[in-house]
């Protein structure tokens, strides 16, 4: 019987769950283990979550900087690699204008001005001239950076290998020196005045678009001098156009002052109204067209106002803007201006072809003639 109970006790201990078996095990073998466990729980409970997050963030940042420092050692600066690429290109004998343009463009994007200077010297040695637009951009950037050697290299290169561009750019001199040279040629050589006008318009546009007030003052004085002494308003007209198309309020204000001061300028500006309108429409500048309307109304340019309105109507009709077309037609009626039969037909086709045309017209009609709905009282019929 005793043997039976001992065997049963052993089988029960084997089949007992783990939780019951763990109860029989001692939780700790010594008091020392209990004290260590208590200390660890106290330390964890006293730890601030913000401090833990901060320490983790600092650790991540330090690991990141270590990774970047090792990456810099493995992969050096791209500028140095590009400088080596340029040096290898210099040694090749089959370098041409396309390759030079590409190298100069990469150097401009990477702001490697010393490499640009080396490229210009190589161009002078191998008698290769980059594109005029790129040369002009290089000269403009180097002059703003105060790199006189680079500007002189551009000047010498263009003088030897591209004489026409050298003359057009006024020998790549400063604005004041270039304007003085143009003025001297205009005064002494009347047969070259047409070329001077053509070359000066690029200089005027660059002065205005570079947003340099000092350069704008120089060009304005130059244009005023020729308008007063020679009665030539071409320079003043082109300056007014650039100022009027500018996005800066100071330039627009100067354009208003010029057209208010000179009566002859209004005549020449009226001839260019349609051209300025085409530029504004191409650039999608509705504000510029609005200011053109104001100028035309202020100085009684009804013919020019009609041209602007018709051009603007054609543009809005081509993009399918029914609301704007209707407003333009209303403005034309207010100013007693008629549009062409072709434009009427275009507008009718636009209304008929548009899905929302009829709904928009009905909504527009309801806005003009609002009416209230009559409520009929409910009643019962006798029969």
d(CA 311, CA 323): 16
What is the pTM for the complete model shown?
Answer: 0.53
Structure tokens at 295: 């100028």
Q: Name the one residue in this structure whose structure tokens are 């003052």.
A: 217
Q: Give the number of other Cβ atoms within 10 Å of residue 280's Cβ.
A: 23
d(CA 226, CA 59): 70
Looking at per-residue pLDDT, the higher value among 20 and 177 belongs to 177
Mean pLDDT (whole number) for 121-140: 77
d(CA 73, CA 81): 14
d(CA 230, CA 221): 14
Of 252, 218, 248, the C-alpha closest to 235 is 218
Residues 328 and 316 sit within 8 Å (Cβ to Cβ): yes
For the stretch 93-127, pLDDT in tens is 566 778 777 888 888 887 777 787 888 887 777 77
Of 155, 262, 259, 244, the C-alpha closest to 208 is 244
Residues 265 and 258 sit within 8 Å (Cβ to Cβ): yes
Structure tokens at 116: 């640009």
Report pLDDT for 37. Answer: 44
Looking at per-residue pLDDT, the higher value among 180 and 361 belongs to 180
Taking 90 as the threshold, does the pLDDT of residue 176 lie above it? Answer: no
Report pLDDT for 41. Answer: 42
d(CA 47, CA 44): 5
Query: How many angstroms separate the Cα of 308 from the Cα of each of 68, 103, 255, 305, 319?
Result: 60, 45, 19, 5, 17
Q: Give the number of other Cβ atoms within 10 Å of residue 279's Cβ.
A: 14
Sign of the CA dihedral with 19 first, then 21, 23, and 27 last: negative
Which pLDDT band holds residue 237 (cuts at 50, 70, 90)?
A: very high
Q: Who's near 115: CB < 8 A, 6+ residues apart?
A: 82, 83, 86, 103, 107
Q: What is the CA radius of gyration of the chain?
A: 41
Which pLDDT band holds residue 376 (cuts at 50, 70, 90)?
A: low
Q: Who's near 202: CB < 8 A, 6+ residues apart?
A: 168
Residues 283 and 252 sit within 8 Å (Cβ to Cβ): no
Report pLDDT for 257. Answer: 92
d(CA 101, CA 111): 15
Three-state DSSP at 238 gives helix
**What element of type H or E holds 150?**
helix 148-161
Which pLDDT band holds residue 256 (cuts at 50, 70, 90)?
A: very high
Question: Average per-residue pLDDT in the chain?
Answer: 73
d(CA 381, CA 383): 6
Report pLDDT for 174. Answer: 59
Which pLDDT band holds residue 29 (cuts at 50, 70, 90)?
A: very low
Query: How many angstroms separate the Cα of 220 from the Cα of each of 87, 207, 297?
Result: 45, 10, 26
Report pLDDT for 61. Answer: 74
For the stretch 46-98, pLDDT in tens is 457 777 777 877 887 777 776 666 654 444 445 445 555 555 555 555 667 78
């Amino acid at each position: 019987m005793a043997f039976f109970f001992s065997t049963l006790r052993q089988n029960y201990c084997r089949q007992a769950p783990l939780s019951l078996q763990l109860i029989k095990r001692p939780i700790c073998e010594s008091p020392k283990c209990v004290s260590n466990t208590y200390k660890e729980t106290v330390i964890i409970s006293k730890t601030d979550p913000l401090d833990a997050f901060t320490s983790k963030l600092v650790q991540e940042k330090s690991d990141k900087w270590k990774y970047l420092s090792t990456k810099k050692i493995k992969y050096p600066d791209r500028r140095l690699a590009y400088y080596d690429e340029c040096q290898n290109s210099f040694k090749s004998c089959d370098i041409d204008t396309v390759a030079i343009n590409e190298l100069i463009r990469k150097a401009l994007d990477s702001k490697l001005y010393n490499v640009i200077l080396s490229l210009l010297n190589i161009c002078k040695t191998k008698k290769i001239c980059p594109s005029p637009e790129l040369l002009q951009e290089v000269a403009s950037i180097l002059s703003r950076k105060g790199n006189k050697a680079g500007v002189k290299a551009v000047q010498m290169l263009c003088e030897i290998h591209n004489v026409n561009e050298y003359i057009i750019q006024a020998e790549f001199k400063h604005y004041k020196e270039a304007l003085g040279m143009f003025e001297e040629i205009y005064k002494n050589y009347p047969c070259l005045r047409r070329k001077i006008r053509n070359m000066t318009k690029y200089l005027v546009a660059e002065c205005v678009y570079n947003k340099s007030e000092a350069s704008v003052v120089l060009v304005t004085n130059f244009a005023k001098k020729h308008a007063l002494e020679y009665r030539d308003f071409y320079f003043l007209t082109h300056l007014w156009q650039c100022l009027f198309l500018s996005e800066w309020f100071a330039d627009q204000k100067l354009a208003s002052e010029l057209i208010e001061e000179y009566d002859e300028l209004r005549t020449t500006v009226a001839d260019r109204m349609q051209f300025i309108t085409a530029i504004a429409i191409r650039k999608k500048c509705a504000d510029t067209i609005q200011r053109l309307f104001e100028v035309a109304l202020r100085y009684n340019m009804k013919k020019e106002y009609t041209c602007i309105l018709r051009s603007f109507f054609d543009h809005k009709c081509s993009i399918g803007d029914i609301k704007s077309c209707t407003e333009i037609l209303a403005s034309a009626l207010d100013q007693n201006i008629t549009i062409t039969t072709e434009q009427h037909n275009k507008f009718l086709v636009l209304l008929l072809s548009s899905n929302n045309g009829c709904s928009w017209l009905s909504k527009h009609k309801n806005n003009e003639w609002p009416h209230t709905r009559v409520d009929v009282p409910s009643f019962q019929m006798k029969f």
